[in-house]
Amino acid sequence: MRFVVKRLLLGLVLIVSASVALLLSDLGRRTAVARSMPHIGLLQHASTMLLDEGTRGAIDGLAEKGFVDGKTIVINKFNAQGDISVGSSIAKEMVNSRYDLLLTMSTLSLQAVANANRNGKIVQVFGLVADPVVAGVGISRSDPLDHPRNLVGIGSFLPVQDAFRIAREMFPDLKRVGVAWNPAEANSRAFVEKARGVCQGWGIQLLEANVENSNSVLEAEDSLVARGAEALWIGGDVTVSVAADSVVLVGRRAHIPVFSITPGKPDRGTLFDYGADFYQIGKQTGELASRILRGADPTQIPVTNEIPIHFIVNTTALKDLRQQWRIPDDILRRANVVVDEAGIHNQTTAGQNKQPAAGPK
């Protein structure tokens, strides 16, 4: 009897041992597969339509090059929800994690991760950045290849001068434009400095009001109206863009138009938006990231400036304006999207969608 029991116990031990060996072997294979799949950490500064579109474009750009999230790559997405300190904390965690590449969408996210990644542990690819040079992360304006060895990306300096030119075409007597902006945003400072030069050359007074967060935008815009603004301009400022509805509200109450270089929902109430197609910029950023993942040397890739133009004109915003703004026919023909009483109309315009990539001077 004891002999039979011992035989049974020995058989059970052998079965259990074999099962454990098989499980460990399978786990090893799964772990090897999981580790062979690239992992990307993606940081987005805030939830705005433009940043969301850019992030979607980056993920699509990766997918078109064979890096499909959940199948051939793992993308962990993070959002600072507009809080700079939160973004810095997330950036530190991302750098300390075992990512194969870090992807940042916006100037503030570029700065947060670059500062946390100063020792160059991980390659960082950036997009949706107005002026990478003023971000203060070691990128040269004179030499596109002069950048940190682990940092490369795409700049997109939005067309400030062209936006003001369009405003003057719609209202030649324009003399005072108001803008609220956050001095903590390097990209916003670059746009405002560009606008100052443009306005000075054209005899326009640029009225400015500083904001620290989106909650203070409404009050700042009201102050600009009180100082005599004839139009309100939304520059490439994330803080203000989050509160774009507040800017439009102030404009409606004062019967003055709002225009921007950050296209949002076509029917949000701005008279026109002349800026970049953030989805396409994001897509180009994703394609660049795929090159790095396939072994391209970041030090041999220049930092470029790309501006695929997106132009929205809203004719319904002319209603009840206190001054004689008008939309010339040639502007309507140039627009990608036109909004009128009948709805939103997408247009295909020859030669409209690209602009020479000229950064800030």
DSSP 103-139: EEESHHHHHHHHHHTTT--S-EEEEEES-TTTTTSS-
Beta bridge partners of 274: 311
**240/185 Cα distance (integer angstroms):** 11
End-to-end CA distance of the chain: 95
Alpha carbon of 231 to those of 268, 270, 339: distances in Å? Answer: 16, 11, 19
**How many CB atoms are closer than 10 A to CB 334?**
18
DSSP 153: E
Place of tokens 């799964």: 30
pLDDT for residue 360: 55
Place of tokens 């301009």: 233
**26/57 Cα distance (integer angstroms):** 36
DSSP 142: S
**DSSP strand pairing (101-105 vs 39-44):** parallel
- How much of the chain, in percent, has pLDDT values that exceed 70? 86
**How many CB atoms are closer than 10 A to CB 67?**
24
3-state secondary structure of 127: strand
pLDDT for residue 98: 85
What predicted TM-score, i.e. pTM, was given to this entire model?
A: 0.79
DSSP 266: T
**214/194 Cα distance (integer angstroms):** 23
pLDDT in tens, 12-27: 444 434 443 333 344 3
The backbone torsions φ and ψ at residue 26, rounded to the nearest 5 degrees and listed phi first, read: -65, -40
**181/58 Cα distance (integer angstroms):** 27
Please report, as a single letter, which amino acid is at residue 332: L
DSSP 149: T
pLDDT for residue 100: 97
pLDDT in tens, 272-316: 999 999 999 999 999 999 999 999 999 999 999 999 999 999 999
Region 172-191 average pLDDT:
95
- Residue 252 has which token pair? 């409606």
Q: Is residue 129 scored above 80 in pLDDT?
A: yes
pLDDT in tens, 223-270: 999 999 999 999 989 899 999 999 999 999 999 999 999 999 999 999
Calculate ∠ Cα 104-137-207, nearest 5°: 85
What domains sit in the chain, N to C, each tagged with a CATH number? 37-157+279-305 (3.40.50.2300), 160-276+309-346 (3.40.50.2300)
- Residue 305 has which token pair? 């400036």
- Residue 12 has which token pair? 């059970």
| Interacting residues of 165 by C-beta distance below 8 A, sequence separation 6+ | none
